[in-house]
Structure 1
Amino acid sequence: MTCHQTHRRWASALLIAVTAALCACNEKSAQTPSPQSSAAAYTPVTVQHQLGTTRIGHAPQRVVALDMNEVDFLDQLGVPVAAMPKDFVPHFLARYKDAVSVEDVGSIVQPNLERVHGARPDLILITSLQANHFKELSEMAPTLHFDVDYRDSQARYIDVIREHLLTLGDVFARQALARQKVSELDTRVEEVRRITAGRSEKALVVLHNNGAFSSFGVQSRYGFIFNALGVKPAGPNAETGLHGQPVSSEFILQANPDIIYVVDRTAVMERRPVMDARNMDNLLLRQTNAWKNGRVIFVDAQAWYVTGASPTSLKLIIDDVEKGYQR
């Protein structure tokens, strides 16, 4: 074989190998879109909310959630959290507390804006608790406000939670999962409403704070317990807003509820176990129907107080509501 023939055969073999490699690369590229092609395929989402209009132009990669409800929404949709406040993390989100990949941006009520900026967010999620920082946050990244009303939850409370789930499903292109989570939530709401619809018991929701109690009626942060879940209220339907109406044991006895739901704020704020009947016991309360029949329910305080407007917390609240009808 001549040197010229050997060179021609070597060149042919090399051409075949290069062609095969290029075909393999093209096939792999077709199966796994590059980041650029994924970004190009993203459909921008525009959301109108109480603080304005927010446009998300590309798939968010670093999401900062400044409210525990928002952390739970992201958790439900399988979206990574880049940063969050870590001052009051509920037990059902405990894995985020010590996660080194999740940066701590201070407190829920007063987030550290320098830390938020340092987290390099491309989307920020807030509620009314951080609404006064909306302008500054919007200068860092698109900022989306969750329009839940913590002062008066009687109107469209669960509808707003559903809508937010679906909105985030659009933002993160996880529409099917969002619809599944909404369906699960609707199922639990329907289940508890079937229980409460046929019952005559009346209930009182009270919040414990360092030995004092506040009552929450139909027009309050826990109004959805009565309006959306079908629990019948005991006592006057006074406006009680975010912090409730201070009440005495005499008031509770006069209302004489069949069920008392106790939210122990002190347990949350001081990070200690939720109070029980021994801590609350007194002569007047023992005379109520609720006490006599063992229907004083010490609820999941973190779900009711720290969150209360997310898929997981709402399911835990429904679990507690049902306990009042099981005895």
Structure 2
Amino acid sequence: MAHHTHRLWPLALLITAALAVQGCNDKPAASTQAVTNAQPEQGAFATVTVQHQLGTTVIERAPKRVVALDMNEVDFLDQLGIPVVGMPKDFVPHFLARYKEDQGVEDVGAIVQPNLERVHGTKPDLILMTSLQANHYQALSEMAPTVHFDVDYRDSEARHIEVIKDHLLTLGTLFDKQALARQQVEELDAKVQEVRDLTAGRPEKALVVLHNNGAFSSFGEHSRYGFIFNALGVKPASTAVDSGLHGQPISSEFIQHANPDIIYVVDRTAVMERRPVMDAQSMGNPLLRQTNAWKNGRVIFADAQAWYVTGASPTSLKLMIEDVEKGYQR
């Protein structure tokens, strides 16, 4: 049998990494993702058991045909040198652009609505997914062992960077790339420390805003960009209520009260409509123009593909950190 899910754990060496979890609708409770290696015969593949938010997945054979249903997962595999046989190609970030035109990589539909027939047609022996495809977990699991990446896209405050590092190590174990995975973790640690050294003791307060067809929403400490404040040391310009996945619509009173020293603008419209990211000349919102950030030239137009399409992978995290640093270097 190539794959099954169950509640019993085999007696084996246990490598445990606590992860923040994410529900699809309700606020999730904490859980633990674990990777278990059975002791193999010499030269044989070590059966790997991965416990994740949606269940327990057993991989009994070395994966050779991997389908990744989220761009974060594609980046994880890319960083570990693991080929991909299928992925959605509706929104591919620039740092993974070579996959979009690669005829050897099957287009399996949309990130939020994968084409299950195409997924099945790739004959996968491993499927990687996130909460965006959670309602397809059972159907996907019937095709191949399916592992869920327990990242919380609504509230990244709780261990977001640790979740990314843990997933790197999980995949490193699964693909026998432990040394490379540890190297990637060390690089992320160094990058995080770099920005924390930059933000430490600085008085500036920042606001993260999302642009969507002329409207703006802000994101605080308990939102998809919460880790910017909690893990990277950025001081929030507002302590408003939790803003979750879609942010809090900005009013003139909100802007006047927050008056941030730094603003990070994530242009969702540029991503969804495939057009250039807005800049100071094209942003006509009078509310943002009244802030100290605008007056002092510290409005950072972020890498929208890294922040919005991904945001939970090694490459996207490094790009986001570089954007954060720009706000303190002007």
- TM-score band, normalised by shorter chain: 0.7 to 0.9
1:39–1:281 distance in 2 versus 1, CA, 3 Å: farther
Structure 2 distance, partners of 1:39, 1:132, is: 39
Structure 2 distance, partners of 1:273, 1:247, is: 23
- Which segments of 5 or more consecutive residues in structure 1 lack a partner in the other structure? 1-36
**More helix as a share of residues:** 1
Which amino acid in the other structure matches residue 224 of structure 2?
R
Report how far residue 238 of structure 1 moved. 1.2
Report how far residue 280 of structure 1 moved. 1.7
Contact 1:219/1:237 (8 A) holds in 2: no
Deviations 1:54-76 (A, max 9, x none): 11111100000000000000000
Alignment partner of 1:326: what SS?
Answer: coil
Residue number among 86, 89, 103 corresponding to 1:100 in the alignment: 103
CA RMSD of aligned residues (A): 1.4
Identity, % of aligned positions:
79
Largest Rg, 1 or 2 = 1
Report how far residue 197 of structure 1 moved. 1.1
Q: How does 1:284-295 map to 2 (within 5 A)?
A: 284-295=287-298
Structure 1 distance, partners of 2:239, 2:283, is: 22
Alignment partner of 1:278: what SS?
Answer: coil
- Which segments of 5 or more consecutive residues in structure 2 lack a partner in the other structure? 1-39
Which residue in the other structure is 1:77 paired with?
Answer: 80
Aligned pair 1:192/2:202, yes or no?
A: no
Structure 1 distance, partners of 2:153, 2:253, is: 28
Which amino acid in the other structure matches residue 174 of structure 1?
K
Between 143-152 and 243-252, the greater mean CA deviation after superposition: 243-252
Structure 2 distance, partners of 1:162, 1:255, is: 33
Alignment coverage as a number of residue pairs: 291
Which amino acid in the other structure matches residue 313 of structure 1?
S
Report how far residue 282 of structure 1 moved. 4.5
Deviations 1:32-57 (A, max 9, x none): xxxxx999521111111000101111
Alignment partner of 1:277: what SS?
Answer: coil
Between 76-85 and 194-203, the greater mean CA deviation after superposition: 194-203
Residue number among 221, 224, 236 corresponding to 2:224 in the alignment: 221
Aligned pair 1:253/2:256, yes or no?
A: yes
Which residue in the other structure is 2:177 paired with?
Answer: 174
Contact 1:39/1:58 (8 A) holds in 2: no
Structure 2 distance, partners of 1:132, 1:270, is: 26
Aligned pair 1:136/2:136, yes or no?
A: no
Structure 1 distance, partners of 2:234, 2:240, is: 13
Residue number among 98, 121, 129 corresponding to 1:118 in the alignment: 121
Structure 2 distance, partners of 1:246, 1:308, is: 21
**TM-score, structure 2 normalization:** 0.86
- Structure 1 segments of 4+ aligned residues over 6 angstroms from their partners: none
Report how far residue 126 of structure 1 moved. 0.1
Alignment partner of 2:282: what SS?
Answer: helix
Which amino acid in the other structure matches residue 234 of structure 1?
A
1:306–1:284 distance in 2 versus 1, CA, 3 Å: closer
1:283–1:298 distance in 2 versus 1, CA, 3 Å: same
